[in-house]
Structure 1
Amino acid sequence: MGTDTAVGKTHQACLLARALRAEGRGVAAYKPVASGSAPPGQSDAELLWAASGSAEPLHRTCPQSFHAPLAPPLAAALEQRQVDEELLASGAVWWQQRCEFLIVEGAGGALSPISESSTVLDLACRLQLPVVLIAANRLGVVNHTLLSLQAILARGLPVLGVVLNDLPPASQDVSPDSNAGLLRSFAPASIPLVHSIEELWQPSGLDAH
């Protein structure tokens, strides 16, 4: 789950999928819905599908996609379609019955709408998924991360860690050097803060879930 769009969710999910595969674990990746276009082979779904080494058709990795770079329900409406609410969850359940470790990547941030009536966080609660929160190490990340954690923890989901993803710095942004320290001061001390999801992959971390 992310704090926003374009924070590195797909990159971190792919890192985890490849790490799991390298250890011989049965892994699958799932993106319930996607919107926006990308060059061939570079969509989130295609990257996740490749990283997980899936032998299933691409639509099993992402069963619903829409062209416009908008929230999925808005992108669907432009095509005179609707997001299939039940498929969001049933597509994940299909994988849960067939793999050892399922990575689910949301669209946008925790409270981003993914259908006409539900958010990314709603779906995570429905599926009872533990959360790894991905945040971009840039100006504003402290506020975005703390608000996201507050929303997730209020719904009772376990947070396995926060990944402060290092992106190419914007000009004049000096915050990346101090964001981690500030987050550690305000976020719950029990939640690990790392710079790569691979740092959470150990018997005491993600492997327990």
Structure 2
Amino acid sequence: MAEEFRPTLGGTPMNGWFVTATDTNVGKTFVASALIRWLNQQGLTTAGYKPAASGALVDADGCQSWEDVEALYRASGEKWPRELICPQTFELPLAPPFAARRAGKIIDESRLIQGAQNWTGQVSHLIVEGAGGWLSPISNNWSNADLAAQLKFPVLLVARLGLGTINHTLLTLESIERRGLPILGIVLSESTHLPEDISTSDNPTELAQRTPHPILAVIPHQTGQPGEIPPPLRSPVWLDLAREPQL
């Protein structure tokens, strides 16, 4: 395993967050991209970093792209190379180490860390978006949790609104706590439109009674324009959190 690492900016720790989720397709790319846009609009130079991505889209000319990488690229202002935003990409729609294996490759754990280090001196705040859920594999030996433990950024947990989310959220928070990582808070996301469900409206209150970690935003299903930032992610609280010194 690689030595413990903390990205530095000018010799001091770089500020950043590790955005993870209770599952895949919960909305963490949407949340990460919206926060990158918002912080940049507030004058805090911010970019997104996706350590590894899989599941390529292929256009008519045979060119590949990765939806999450493109979202972070646009949110970061389209001024950073995609290879900086995501240095390890794979074609098949599998967890990154499995997609890499099918391609006859292996995910380089040192590059996962070096990819964060490469942002040193370029941004004031780095938002790292994991691949899949908190314990999903990101290499043959590491889960997202292991990478987050190396980077030591505060963790922002995106959880799905709906029945079952209390169990999923509390289990994930418990796992984050066991690794001794600071928890920024929770975002509840309606990533897909849900039928009327009393559990959805009760989720924030019930979770708040069961965890000391703040619920920072509740995001309803989004039907607006691409790049639109929902009001819960345009709160001044995000700028305050981004400016807090990180030990």
What TM-score does the superposition give when structure 2 sets the normalisation length? Answer: 0.78
Q: Is structure 2 residue 160 aligned with structure 1 residue 163?
A: no
Query: Secondary structure of the equivalent of 2:153?
Result: coil
State the AA in 1 paired with 2:187: V
Say whether residues 1:25 and 2:44 are aligned partners. yes
**Amino acid paired to 2:217:** V
Q: 2:24: which partner in 1? A: 5
Counterparts of 1:1-209 in structure 2, within 5 Å, are: 1-38=20-57, 43-171=67-195, 173-188=197-212, 190-195=213-218, 196-199=232-235, 200-203=237-240, 205-208=241-244, 209=246
Identity %: 43
1:42–1:111: structure 2 CA closer, same or farther, 3 Å change rule?
closer
SS in 1 for 2:118: helix
Instruction: Select the structure with the greater relative contact order (CA < 8 A; seq sep ≥ 6).
Output: 2
The one-letter code matched in structure 1 to 2:124 is E
How far has the Cα of 1:198 moved from its partner? 3.9
Amino acid at match of 1:19: W
Question: How far apart, in 1, do the equivalents of 2:234 and 2:167 lie?
Answer: 24
SS of the equivalent of 2:209 reads: helix
**Range with greater deviation from structure 2 (142-151 or 36-45):** 36-45
1:8-42 Cα shifts (integer Å, max 9, x gaps): 01100111111111112111110000111236676
TM-score (norm 1): 0.91
Larger radius of gyration: 2
Shift of 1:143: 1.0
Letter paired with 2:149: C
Counterpart CA distance in 2 for 1:54 and 1:168 is 27
- Residues 144 and 198 of structure 1, relative CA distance in 2, 3 Å threshold: farther
SS at structure 2 position matched to 1:151 = helix
Higher helix share: 1
Matched to 1:201, the amino acid is W
| CA gap 1:39/1:173 in 2 versus in 1, 3 angstroms | farther
Q: Aligned partners of 1:82, 1:168: CA distance in 2, in Å?
A: 33
Unmatched 5+ residue regions in structure 2?
1-19, 60-64, 219-231
Secondary structure of the residue that 2:137 maps to in structure 1? Answer: coil
Cα RMSD between the aligned structures? 1.9
8 Å Cα contact 1:37/1:67 also seen in 2: yes
Q: Which runs of 5+ in 1 are unaligned?
A: none
Moved more, 91-100 or 154-163: 91-100
User: SS of the residue aligned with 1:157?
Assistant: coil
Specify the SS of the correspondent of 1:201.
helix
